[in-house]
Amino acid sequence: MKHLLNLYRIAAGLFFLLAFTACSDDDDNGTTPPVVETNTIVDFVAANDDYSSLEAALEVTGLTSTLDGTENYTVFAPDNDAFADFLADNGFSELSEVPVALLTQVLLNHVQMGEIMAADLSTGYIPSMATRTGSDDNLSMYISTENGVMINGVATVTAANIEVDNGVIHAVDEVIGLPTIVTFALADPTFDTLVAALTREDDFTFVSTLMMTDSPAPFTVFAPTNNAFVDLLAELEMNSLGDIPTDVLASTLSYHVVTEANVRSGDIMDDMEVSTLAGQMFTINTENGAQITDANGRIADIILVDVQANNGVIHVVDTVLLPSME
């Protein structure tokens, strides 16, 4: 009898243990969610030693949460060597010396909304998520697809179409700094002749001026294309840029620049009179599309607007504007 009683107690204990275990399993299944592996932009950066500087920069600027969410982005990702060059070129010895506000905008200058695969990129301008200092104007990026993919004439895509859960990453070999007017003039071959004109004389200061980020910036530049200069030479019955007298060339170039103003297309009104660096004015009309009438009554069409740099904006014109030479 005593033996049977012990067996009964053992059986009851086993039953209780099994019942408790089953209840515990049910509770776990009801309250503990399954572990889901993610591969966001931030996950990719954190998992690759070559991007430890980018990872640190994202953390310092608070952009980690942005690029770790569900919104899709396209990121041109600079590696550690690119960050080392950026720091050296800008006089910083380490990442912590870069002002957070500046670093934030530099990082955003590598990011676009949505997922853009390399095959969907074409030569031309796209907006980045960076904004011009003190404004909500998104900076432009010049994409060249003539030989691979290059951004702003400085950064080349070395590995494209790295797909992640919330977008796509394109690895680049340089940090894409905040562009100036000169950045786009040098990057876009549409302006090769304009650059040649701006630098024709050693004492011309156009380049250094248009790189400035304080007064007389911001600038609004009406930039003539290469074909516009070809037409000008034909109009003046000259063979080359070198035939234009220096004073005429200097006045002409100054006539395309507005200082102390970032005049975007939305700010342009019909019969708008514009004061220029040359000390003369021209008129913009919008009745038949955006057109400029220069001091000589010549008409130029504005064929591309709002190429936004950090120190001003560019509008592209199909005719070289001429000031009065009287």
Query: 299-324 pLDDT, tens per residue?
Result: 999 999 999 999 999 999 999 999 99
- Helices 100-108 and 52-61: angle between axes, nearest 10 degrees: 120
Span between the terminal Cα atoms of the chain, in Å: 130
In CATH, what number does 41-172 get?
A: 2.30.180.10
What lies within 8 Å, CB to CB, of 246 at 6+ separation is 200, 201
pLDDT surpassing 70 at residue 34? no
- DSSP track, 173-222: SS--PPP-HHHHHHH-GGGHHHHHHHTSSTT--HHHHHT-SSTT-SEEEE
CB 104 within 8 A of CB 92: no
Q: What is the pTM of this model?
A: 0.87
Separation CA 297–CA 310 (nearest Å):
32
Query: 244-254 pLDDT, tens per residue?
Result: 999 999 999 99
Class of domain 181-317: mainly beta
Confidence of residue 290 (pLDDT cuts 50, 70, 90): very high
Q: Where are the domains positioned within the chain?
A: 1-35, 41-172, 181-317
State the sign of the Cα–Cα–Cα–Cα dihedral 146, 152, 156, 162.
negative
What lies within 8 Å, CB to CB, of 258 at 6+ separation is 219, 220, 221, 222, 274, 275, 276, 277
Instruction: Please give the C-alpha separations between residue 133 and each of 130, 139, 142, in angstroms, as whole numbers.
Output: 9, 10, 19
Confidence of residue 37 (pLDDT cuts 50, 70, 90): confident
Confidence of residue 243 (pLDDT cuts 50, 70, 90): very high
Structural element, H or E, at residue 315: strand 312-317
The answer to whether the 41-172 and 181-317 domains have the same CATH topology is yes
What lies within 8 Å, CB to CB, of 57 at 6+ separation is 83, 95, 103, 107
Rg of the chain in Å (alpha carbons): 30
Name the DSSP class of 51: G
CB 140 within 8 A of CB 97: no
Confidence of residue 278 (pLDDT cuts 50, 70, 90): very high
- Helices 52-61 and 80-89: angle between axes, nearest 10 degrees: 60
For residue 216, is the peptide bond before it cis, meaning its omega torsion is within 30 degrees of 0? yes
Phi first, then psi, for residue 259 (nearest 5°) are: -105, 160
Confidence of residue 288 (pLDDT cuts 50, 70, 90): confident
CB 310 within 8 A of CB 218: no
CB pairs under 8 A, 24+ apart, for 279-288?
279/254, 280/255, 280/323, 280/324, 282/255, 282/321
Separation CA 83–CA 80 (nearest Å):
5
pLDDT at residue 127, rounded to an integer:
96
CB 104 within 8 A of CB 64: no
pLDDT at residue 15, rounded to an integer:
41
